[in-house]
């Protein structure tokens, strides 16, 4: 009984510490944001910060995975508006240095999300984490195009905003 309690307490502590460790980690750096002084601003996001901006979940298949996956993340449109961006281009770059440019005008609502959970779990780099820009490919043919596929950047960790 005491062992069980101890184990539970220990596991809980371990989990909490893990959470807090992860939570304190920066998973997305957005640079090039216009600042009041005219200089550029860089903002770093932790997971919880992203989750606070917005969170939706959808299921879809992708060309790069097997079977239907459930993705949870912040809609790109919501994310862009939280940064108070009206125009310009987002240059998203992955850990593996893959990079794409997405015009802000195409940050569609009901469209792409910056997913931070796949099948309700965080994604390691091996699992194309920490962030994955995914589209609901199955919901509409307009998301099954070459451009959309090329913009579906995984292992995303930084975004540069430019005019």
Residue 152 CB, shortest distance to another protein, in Å, is 8
**Residue ranges binding another protein (CB under 8 A):** 61-66, 95-96, 98, 124-128, 141, 144-146, 149-150, 152, 154-155
Residue 138 is classified by DSSP as G
Residue 94 CB, shortest distance to another protein, in Å, is 9
- For another protein, the closer CB: 24 or 124: 124
CA-CA distance, 72 to 39, in Å (whole number)?
34
Residue 56 CB, shortest distance to another protein, in Å, is 23
- For another protein, the closer CB: 2 or 63: 63
- For another protein, the closer CB: 77 or 114: 114
Residue 127 CB, shortest distance to another protein, in Å, is 7
- Give the N- to C-terminal CA distance of the chain in Å, as an integer: 63
In 24-163 the beta strands, taken as DSSP E runs, fall at 26-34, 40-46, 56-60, 69-75, 89-94, 99-103, 113-118, 121-122, 132-134, 156-162
């Amino acid at each position: 009984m005491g062992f069980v309690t101890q184990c539970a307490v220990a596991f809980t502590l371990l989990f909490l510490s893990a959470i807090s460790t992860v939570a304190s980690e920066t998973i997305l750096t957005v640079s090039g944001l216009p600042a009041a002084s005219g200089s550029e601003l860089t903002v770093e996001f932790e997971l919880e910060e992203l989750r606070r901006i917005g969170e939706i979940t959808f299921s879809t298949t992708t060309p790069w995975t097997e079977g239907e996956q459930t993705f949870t993340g912040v809609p790109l449109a919501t994310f862009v508006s939280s940064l108070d961006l009206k125009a310009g281009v987002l240059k998203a770059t992955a850990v593996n240095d893959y990079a794409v440019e997405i015009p802000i005008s195409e940050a569609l609502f009901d469209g792409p999300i910056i997913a931070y959970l796949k099948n309700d779990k965080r994604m390691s780099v091996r699992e194309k984490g920490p962030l994955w820009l995914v589209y609901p490919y199955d919901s509409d043919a307009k998301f099954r195009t070459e451009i959309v596929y090329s913009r579906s950047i995984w292992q995303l960790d930084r975004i540069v905003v430019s005019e």
